[in-house]
Amino acid sequence: MSLDVDLFRITPACEHCGREEDRDHLYSANITHNLGEMAKEAGIYMHLWRPEEIGITKAEQLIAPLRAGLELMKADPTRFKKLDPPNGWGSYIHFIPWIQNCLKACEDAP
């Protein structure tokens, strides 16, 4: 299992001019679900894995939580490295840059 993150810019349809809804794909990323426990420890699991359950519909809503989770993880790597999955699929050293890239995408297109 894995997590797929996709960010789109949606231009709504216009009933007046007849323009149809347009979806521009801006960002896509995938990472193993094995990092879910690490994300929970960092306080960002729901933001990444289940955003719709906490009312997140826009990238701008992810910026502050991802920034805070990333800072927490970087401040205490030993704590988070202990949560590396025993099967070797996913790790702290791969999750940090993944979150950084996701955060940058959210900042670039809030």
- Within a domain: 10: no
Q: Which residues of the chain have pLDDT under 70?
A: none
- Within a domain: 19: no
- Within a domain: 7: no
Residue reference for tokens 């990092």: 35
Q: What is the pLDDT of residue 22?
A: 81
Write out the residue range of the structural domain in which residue 36 sits: 31-108
Measure the CA–CA gap between 105 and 83, rounded to whole angstroms. Answer: 26
Number of domains in the chain: 1
pTM of the model: 0.87
CB 31 within 8 A of CB 45: no
Q: Which of 57, 55, 33, 58 is nearest to 45 (CA)?
A: 33
Q: What is the pLDDT of residue 14?
A: 80
- Within a domain: 64: yes
Q: What is the pLDDT of residue 35?
A: 96
- Within a domain: 2: no
- Within a domain: 43: yes
**Residue 67: strand, helix, or coil:** helix
Letter string b/e over residues 15-53, b meaning 16 or more CB atoms within 10 A of that residue's CB: eeeeeeeeeeeebeeebbebbbebbebbebbebbeebee
- Within a domain: 16: no
